[in-house]
Amino acid sequence: MRYWLMKSEPDDVSIDDLAAKKTVAWYGVRNYQSRNFMRDQMQLGDKVLFYHSSCEVPGIAGLAEVSKLAYPDATQFDKKSKYYDGKATKENPRWFNVEVKFVKKTPVITLPELRSHKELEKMRVLAKGNRLSITPVDPAEWEFITHKLVK
């Protein structure tokens, strides 16, 4: 089992949206490294820190779990979508998504709070210049967050 931090803009898909829908496709990822994490490494049951980004108070807003393995992201083929990719074809898709299911909503754990714990100083989301929407989380970081910070 692996652990991940997955960022979503709450104006697009929030933890409340996931709670209401129970499962969502993690569509719109247009970074090759993040795509590769989903396509090549994520497994059913992997645990997810659901992170709200590009909002007033960014941070971990809940917990989720990978519920469906990677498959081609349909938005790459939709000319009306902001995620459309003219180079992608159904025979040779470029972009993939997994599906995640809701586990738990948490009070938002902000970046300053994450930074305040020595146990988390190596988290990739805290690294300078990190812009990836999906990053691996070390098992010890997952344990610390889910047992010490999640209420």
Tens digit of pLDDT for each residue in 75-117? 999 999 999 999 999 999 999 999 999 999 999 999 999 999 9
Q: Could you give the CA distance from residue 88 to residue 48 in angstroms, rounded to a whole number? A: 28
Q: List C-alpha distances in Å: 84 to 34, 70, 77, 96.
A: 17, 18, 6, 13
DSSP string, 98-125: EEEEEEEEEEEEEHHHHHT-GGGTT-GG
CATH number assigned to the domain covering 3-149? 3.10.590.10
d(Cα 109, Cα 88) in Å, to the nearest integer?
37
CB 47 within 8 A of CB 5: no
Q: DSSP character for 144? A: H
Helix (H) or strand (E) holding 32: helix 32-36
Give residue 53's pLDDT band: very low, low, confident or very high (50, 70, 90): very high
> Degrees (nearest 5) of the Cα angle 112, 118, 119?
105
Whole-angstrom distance, CA of residue 34 vs CA of residue 6: 9
DSSP letter for each residue of 61-75: EEEEEEEEEEEE-GG
Q: Are 25 and 69 in contact (CB under 8 A)?
A: no
pLDDT tens, position by position, 71-80: 999 999 999 9
Give percent of the chain above pLDDT 90: 96
3-class state of residue 143 by DSSP: helix
Average pLDDT over the chain, rounded to an integer? 97
